[in-house]
Structures are given as structure tokens and as C-alpha cells.
Chain A
């Protein structure tokens, strides 16, 4: 029987494993991907201070430590069910059942699909899939593509594809339908873009975005958005053009794109065909929480955290004794936050398993502070209301536990 089973070998899971091993707990980390690192593996971007964030390098450091501490990490194992048991939990995987006293679910996030006509053709992929193929598998996703959906994640990955020598024609919005309003409405997209403008490589865009923080200025910016798009790293970004259809017989051959009004309505007669051999769709991320749901953990819908999130407190404990969560399953944030949350979750598990000492108390206090500090410092913030979201969750946790 295990002291701790950790589902997910991403930044949260690995740092949790390391924290537990430092206190000599018997730990197993499982992950359904063939190699550890989670979505950290795909990340490669330059931060505003000029330093590069290289996910492969960050993963290597976490794994080196895990190796030195003797953490058991097994890949290619996927958990499909969890049951409560007298000893704690039984976790059903494609390689047998594991029994554990404590369970940490660190399954991260999944990408929200953005459907448009033709989106099921071969050659259409989520932007995250393009990232993994490029940076992890080192496979060229195509020769020339277009990115549908303009947001923090897609802009960062567009840059990664460019660095890998893949030609990106442009970035544009999906044609508005009732499923993709968040991503197809120019004003809504602009609002979110403004909040990431501090990351922009061009001083001009950073400068302009200061004005765009003012409502009426932002409306003007949407209204008079340049016809040829705003270029970032030479890549045209359009928020007044939308992809209405992905065309092709057996695979992607082209897309149809047209001009749209500030409200996202198509302007007839502006349709254009652009030849591409792949399309990346970017609809943002939501917490991947299926396993917390099957074990009966209560949930709360918090928009600022990215959707339905398992109820938990700042120490990463859930209302179910012995069940912990960390990383993007608790809300969509940067990998750095996930890593800090993982360390904190690990220490919370140690607290449950070992006698509480002054030393441990101090370490938990520091780990908690560390999560807060990193949340303040990170440059990529997916949801601007993350702090409010976190506060809401604290309140909900108390309410649930009082009942």
C-alpha cells in the first residue's frame, strides 16, 4: 500500500512527489502520457525580462530531483476510476489497481473546443496539440497554417511554431456561433488581449495598450482595427476577420475567411480563400477534473478559475479526508503556480502522515507564501480575476466543511 499516489506528472505532481519524498513517504506518480512533465514539456517563451522559459529544462530539473530522492514515476498509466476504501483510495488504471492512503489529483487542464464548419477534418488540431507535436515530438504539423482563436495561449504557441520554422499565415477569430461567443466576438477578444499586452514584443503595442484599458478607447480600437491586422513577430493578428469554414476533401486544403463587424457579424462579399494545410483551433483551457468528480468531491463553478473546480482550501486539501488537488485542476494558472501548489500539497500530505513538528509548520507556512508570491509575479495570467476566484473558493471550502 502506498502513502501517496499522485495522478499527473506535470509541474504540480512532480513537485508534490519531491516534497513527499523529502519526508520519506512512499510515493508513486502516474501519468497517461509516455513521458513525464505534463504540459510543461511544450512550453517555450521569452518573458518580459528577456529570459527564456524552457519547459523541457524545467522538467529536467524536477526529474533530477525526483530521481535523487527516489520517487517512483510511471508513465503510460491512465486512471479510469477511483473508489473510496477503508485504507483510503483504490485507483483503477490500465495497469491494475493501486491502493493508497492519500491521493493527489494533479491532472491539469484540457482545451475547450471551438467548433466551426469543417473542424473535424484531418489537419485541424487544437493549438495545444500543435505545441506538443512541435516541441515534444519534434514533428512538423504542416507547411503553412492558420490559427483560429486569438488569446494568450495561442499567441505564445504561434511564436513557438514560428521559431520551429513552421509558416503561420495569420491569426484570426472563429466565425461567431452560439458555442464560441467568447472567442468569436471582437470586443470580448480585445478585452482579453489588452490584459496580455504587457507581454507583447513591440513597444508600440505595449504603449497602445495603456490607452486600450480605457473603455471608449478600446471600442475605438476594435472599430478602427487595421485591415491588415496588427503584426506581432511579423505575424498578422486579426480580430476583425473570422474563419467561416475549413475546406478540404480528405484533409485541410484551405480556409474561408471574411471581414467581420465590431460585433462579430460577417460582412458579405469579403470572403477570401486562403490555402493552408493545417489549422490550429484555440479555445482556451478548463480544469480537467473528471477523476475528482467520480470520487464524489464537491465542485464549485467559478468562472475566474476556468469553470467547474473541485472544492479545496489554500493548503490544497479537499473536503474528502486524504484527497488533495494541485495545479490547473484548481484553476487555470501558469506552470510556475502549479509547481508551487504541488510543493504545498505535498507538505499538506506529509502533515497528515507524520507528527506535526515546528519545522513542518514553518515549511507549510513558507510554501503557502510562495504560492501567493509567485501568483503575484507571473507574467502570463489566463484569467484576470484569479485572486477573486481564489478568495471565492476559500469561502466555499469553509461553507462545505461547516455543513
Chain B
């Protein structure tokens, strides 16, 4: 068992991400879209920093000031009922 899981939700391993980046020269976002790493239930909360690090190591580029993988709401898992609930507290 030598597999190193990176994205737990979508079960994407290190080798697959490395191969994708090497084959397509993909950015963090493109890598995410191609492999689904970071697109699971948790919204990339665990693997986001790892994907950034892998990209940094493979491309040799230091992270820029913009967060590589755009953060989008909801930033926590939330039920659809709650998502649609627009009740404002007083």
C-alpha cells in the first residue's frame, strides 16, 4: 500500500494529481476540475493546502497573492433547506 490519498472525499491520490499536472501543465484550478480533487463534500477544506503545495513543487512557482483555488460559498456543509432560508434575525 503505497498510495497517498490527497483528496479524501473524492479519493484522488498523489500519483494521479502529479500525472495530471505533468501531462497537461495544469493550474491548481484545472487540476481540480480534471481530477475532482477538492470538489467533494467538504469543499476542499482538507486537501486545498496540499494541492497548492503539489503545484508549487511541480511548477517551482511560489504562491501568488490571490488564493489559487477560489473560495466559494457555502464554506461549510449546509442543508439545502438552510441554504434557501433567508430569514434575517432582528
- Closest beta carbon of chain B to A354's beta carbon, Å: 23
Determine the chain A residues whose CB is within 8 A of the CB of B85 once the complex forms: 96-97
With A80-B78, A92-B73, A96-B85 as known contacts, state yes or no: A301 contacts B64, CB within 8 Å. Answer: yes
With A32-B76, A98-B88, A300-B65 as known contacts, state yes or no: A115 contacts B6, CB within 8 Å. Answer: yes
Q: Is the CB of B67 within 8 A of A118?
A: no
Determine the chain B residues whose CB is within 8 A of the CB of A120 once the complex forms: 5, 8
Q: Tell me whether A195 is interfacial, beta carbon within 8 Å.
A: no
Q: Is the CB of A80 within 8 A of B76?
A: yes
Q: Tell me whether A291 is interfacial, beta carbon within 8 Å.
A: yes
How far is A126 from B80 in the complex, measured between Cα atoms in Å? 30
Q: Is the CB of A99 within 8 A of B88?
A: yes
How far is A81 from B85 in the complex, measured between Cα atoms in Å? 13
Determine the chain B residues whose CB is within 8 A of the CB of A90 once the complex forms: 88
How far is A96 from B84 in the complex, measured between Cα atoms in Å? 10
Q: Is the CB of B49 within 8 A of A178?
A: no
Determine the chain B residues whose CB is within 8 A of the CB of A117 once the complex forms: 1-4
With A178-B18, A178-B57, A178-B58 as known contacts, state yes or no: A294 contacts B71, CB within 8 Å. Answer: yes
Determine the chain B residues whose CB is within 8 A of the CB of A179 once the complex forms: 4, 6, 14, 50, 53-54, 57
Determine the chain B residues whose CB is within 8 A of the CB of A94 once the complex forms: 76, 78, 82
Determine the chain A residues whose CB is within 8 A of the CB of B57 once the complex forms: 178-179, 181
Q: Tell me whether A293 is interfacial, beta carbon within 8 Å.
A: yes
- Closest beta carbon of chain A to B79's beta carbon, Å: 8
Q: Is the CB of A293 within 8 A of B87?
A: no
Q: Tell me whether A389 is interfacial, beta carbon within 8 Å.
A: no
Q: Which chain B residues (46-71) contact chain A, with CB distance < 8 Å?
A: 46-47, 49-50, 53-54, 57-58, 62-67, 70-71
Q: Is the CB of A96 within 8 A of B14?
A: no
Q: Tell me whether A112 is interfacial, beta carbon within 8 Å.
A: yes
Q: Tell me whether A299 is interfacial, beta carbon within 8 Å.
A: yes
Q: What's the tally of chain A residues with a CB closer than 8 Å to chain B?
A: 41
Q: Is the CB of A301 within 8 A of B4?
A: no
Determine the chain A residues whose CB is within 8 A of the CB of B14 once the complex forms: 115, 177-179
Residue of B nearest to A300 (CB): B65
Determine the chain A residues whose CB is within 8 A of the CB of B87 once the complex forms: 96-97
Residue of A nearest to B88 (CB): A97
Determine the chain B residues whose CB is within 8 A of the CB of A81 once the complex forms: 73-75
7 tightest A-B CB contacts, nearest first: A81-B73, A80-B74, A293-B71, A290-B75, A80-B76, A178-B57, A97-B88
Q: Could you say which of A90, A179, A289 has the most chain B C-beta atoms within 10 Å of its C-beta?
A: A179
Given contacts A79-B75, A115-B14, A293-B67, 10 further A-B contacts (CB under 8 A): A80-B75, A113-B49, A120-B8, A178-B57, A179-B50, A179-B54, A293-B70, A294-B71, A300-B65, A308-B67
Residue of B nearest to A308 (CB): B67
- Contact digits for A93-118, partner B, Cβ 8 Å, 1 yes 0 no: 01011110000000000101101111
Determine the chain A residues whose CB is within 8 A of the CB of B58 once the complex forms: 178
- Contact digits for A291-334, partner B, Cβ 8 Å, 1 yes 0 no: 10110001111000001100000000000000000000000000
How far is A302 from B39 in the complex, measured between Cα atoms in Å? 26
Q: Which chain A residues (251-292) contact chain B, with CB distance < 8 Å?
A: 286, 289-291
Among B49, B67, B75, B89, contact of A97 (Cβ-Cβ < 8 Å): B89
Residue of B nearest to A2 (CB): B89
Determine the chain B residues whose CB is within 8 A of the CB of A118 once the complex forms: 1
How far is A357 from B75 in the complex, measured between Cα atoms in Å? 39
Residue of A nearest to B5 (CB): A120
Determine the chain B residues whose CB is within 8 A of the CB of A167 once the complex forms: none
Q: Tell me whether A78 is interfacial, beta carbon within 8 Å.
A: yes
How far is A81 from B78 in the complex, measured between Cα atoms in Å? 11
Determine the chain A residues whose CB is within 8 A of the CB of B54 once the complex forms: 178-179
26 A-B pairs within 8 Å (CB atoms) are namely A79-B75, A79-B76, A80-B73, A80-B75, A94-B82, A96-B85, A97-B87, A97-B88, A97-B89, A98-B88, A98-B89, A112-B50, A113-B47, A113-B50, A119-B5, A179-B4, A179-B57, A181-B57, A290-B71, A293-B67, A293-B71, A298-B65, A299-B65, A299-B66, A299-B67, A308-B65
